[in-house]
Amino acid sequence: MKIEHVAFNVESPLAMTDWYVKHLGLSVVRQSESPPYMTFLMDDSESVMIEVYHNPADEVPDYRSMNPLIVHLAFVSESPSDDRQRLLDAGAEFVSEDRLDDGSHIIMMRDPWGFPLQFCKRGTPMLPEQSGQG
């Protein structure tokens, strides 16, 4: 089985989509123009999608109050420090930074709506297309 997407019920899917496209390099694959504004966003590998929407049939989790270890969206980053500053300038919030014994550099942030984002430069790449990283 291949995973198609992971979905998140969020407060502001249209604004979040604009921010993710502008600052994280995602692209809109499909978007509904009426509530619940289901939007499918693809990463630049064109193999991973997320869906954001606002469906009041169930509550939107309070992502801002959740520990990022409960849920977060992780991105490969060539320079987590540069991404941290760039995203701080774009309204994100810094949460934590870790440098692991294996050489990995990981920064946790929150987007402007409080959703946890992780930026990873792995000491040993985890994805095949990362083999040239580092």
Residue 120: exposure state from Cβ atoms within 10 A (0-12, 13-18, ≥19): buried
Same-domain pairing of 44 and 67: no
Distance separating alpha carbons of residues 39 and 25, to the nearest angstrom: 15
SS (HEC) of 41-68: EECCCCCCEEEEECCCCCCCCCHHHCCC
Same-domain pairing of 2 and 48: yes
pTM above 0.85, yes or no: yes
How many helices (H) and strands (E) the chain has is answered by: 2, 8
Domain annotation covers residue 133? no
Same-domain pairing of 67 and 107: yes
Same-domain pairing of 90 and 112: yes
Give the residue numbers spanning the domain of 26: 1-56
Domain annotation covers residue 131? no
102: domain CATH number? 3.10.180.10
**Token pair in block for residue 3:** 């995973």
Same-domain pairing of 14 and 39: yes
pLDDT digits (tens, 9 = 90+) for 34-71: 999 999 999 998 989 999 999 988 999 999 999 999 99
pLDDT digits (tens, 9 = 90+) for 96-123: 999 999 999 999 999 999 999 999 999 9
**Token pair in block for residue 61:** 């989790």
